[in-house]
Amino acid sequence: MWVEALDLILHRLEMSNLNFGKIAAVSGSAQQHGSVYWKNGSFEILSSLDPKKPLVDQFLDAFSIEKSPIWMDCSTTEQCKAIEIAVGGGLELAKLTGSRAHERYVGPQIRKIFETRPEIYQNTERVSLVSSFMASLLIGGYACIDQTDGAGMNLMDIEHRTWSKIALEATAPGLEEKLGKLAPAYAVAGSIASYYVEPSPDPTCGVILCYGCCCSILSKLSCYQR
């Protein structure tokens, strides 16, 4: 559905006669607390997109989990309890990551997948948030998770803005490699993928990291005059 949504956006923009050549940079906002699980070998698909085919047709076999866990999922209560115990309690986790463990957060969701479907976890080479997933589609490679969205995962050291080794170990083995790096929300993820250069976007068009919907709402508050 995420991929099909981007296909639809691109189609509507094309039908609007927008001059793509004037676009210097793009970014986006996506649903927070959602996660996407890339199957082993999916980078090859992502980095070799065929501009003659819709995106949705090219990613049919790219994901180890077909349906993304999202913020409405409240099935990870046991995993939340286990993560809090592993780091020394809910207060310690809050001091470390900014909040106690919440069912909708991606950290507990990952632990649940590791515990209940270990073969799927092992067959996952990358875990993206929906925001970094969209940026990945735009650059044709794996984009970093931005720090503002990463702060809502129960995995990031809120003070140092890096992955917390303690939280990672309490969640699942080998997780840091699957998550990739964190980066500031204003960081450039890369240049637009060649897939989008047809028919007209400038190949030098930059892609700024996408971020979560809550962060997007907060940033827009400063746009209003008192």
* Residues recorded for the chain: 226
> What are 94-113's pLDDT values in tens digits?
999 999 999 999 999 999 99
Question: Which pLDDT belongs to residue 30?
Answer: 87
Mean pLDDT value of segment 9-27: 89
The pTM for the full model equals 0.90
Is the pLDDT at 220 greater than 60? The verdict is no
> What are 153-209's pLDDT values in tens digits?
999 999 999 999 999 999 999 999 999 999 999 999 999 999 988 666 677 899 999
19-223 maps to which CATH number? 3.30.420.40
The structural domains of the chain, with segments of one domain joined by +, span: 19-223
Mean pLDDT value of segment 59-85: 95
**Residues 194, 217: contact at Cβ < 8 Å?**
no
> What are 40-70's pLDDT values in tens digits?
999 999 999 999 999 999 999 999 998 899 9
Sequence-distant (≥ 6) Cβ neighbours of residue 176 within 8 angstroms = 163, 165, 168
